[in-house]
Amino acid sequence: MAVFDPVIDEQTPAADFTIAQKWDRYTAEEHAAWDTLYARQVEITRERSVKEFRTGLGLLDLGSGGIPDLDVINPKLKALTGWEVVMVPHLVPDEVFFTHLANRRFPAGRFIRKPTQLDYLEEPDIFHDIFGHVPMLTLPVFANYMQAYGRGGLRAKSLGRLKELARLYWYTVEFGLIQRPSGLKIYGAGIVSSAGETPFSLDSPSPNRIGFDLERVMRTDYIIDDYQQLYVVIESFEQLLGATQQDFGPIYDRLSADETRYTVTDLIEDDQIITRGTQAYAAAKAG
Ligand code: HBI
Ligand code: FE
Ligand closest to 19 (CA) is 1
CATH class of 13-286: mainly alpha
Task: Provide residues with CB under 6 Å of ligand 1.
Answer: 88, 91-92, 94, 97, 107, 109, 124, 166, 169
Distance between CA atoms of residues 243 and 102, nearest Å: 17
C-alpha 221: how far from chain center: 16
C-alpha 37: how far from chain center: 17
Q: How far is CA 129 from CA 69, 174, 180, 283, in A?
A: 13, 10, 25, 31
Ligand closest to 93 (CA) is 1
- Say if residue 229 is exposed, middle or buried (CB neighbours under 10 Å; 0-12, 13-18, 19+): buried
Helices 140-159 and 70-81 cross at an angle (nearest 10°) of 90
Distance between CA atoms of residues 136 and 129, nearest Å: 11
The ligand 1 atom nearest the CA atom of 93: 9
Kindly list the domain boundaries of the chain, sorted by start residue: 13-286
pLDDT score at 1: 52
97 CA distance to ligand 1 middle (Å): 6
Pairing between strand 230-234 and 177-180? parallel
> What does the DSSP 8-state code read for residue 220?
B
Distance between CA atoms of residues 223 and 215, nearest Å: 18
Is 10 annotated in some ligand binding site?
no
DSSP string, 120-139: --SS--HIIIIIIITGGGGS
Nearest CA to ligand 1 atom 16: 166
Please report how many Cα atoms fall inside a 13 Å half-sphere around the Cα of residue 122, on the Cβ side. Answer: 4
Residues 6+ apart with CB under 8 A from 248: 152, 155, 156, 161, 165
Is residue 112 within 8 A of residue 30, CB to CB? The reply is yes
Q: What is the pLDDT along the chain (287 residues), one digit of tens a residue?
A: 567 789 999 999 999 999 999 999 999 999 999 999 999 999 999 999 999 999 999 999 999 999 999 999 999 999 999 999 999 998 999 999 999 999 999 999 999 998 788 777 778 999 999 999 999 999 999 999 999 999 999 999 999 999 999 999 999 999 999 999 999 999 999 999 999 999 999 999 999 999 999 999 999 999 898 999 999 999 999 999 999 999 999 999 999 999 999 999 999 999 999 999 999 998 898 77
pLDDT score at 2: 65
pLDDT score at 123: 86
pLDDT score at 41: 97
Query: How many helices (DSSP H) and strands (DSSP E) are in the chain?
Result: 14, 7
25: how many CB neighbours lie within 10 A of its CB? 13
186 CA distance to ligand 1 middle (Å): 21
Judged by phi (left if over 0) then psi (alpha if -120 to 50, else beta), residue 250 lies in alpha
Ligand closest to 146 (CA) is 1
Nearest CA to ligand 1 atom 14: 94
Q: How many residues are recorded in the chain?
A: 287
Is 128 annotated in some ligand binding site?
yes
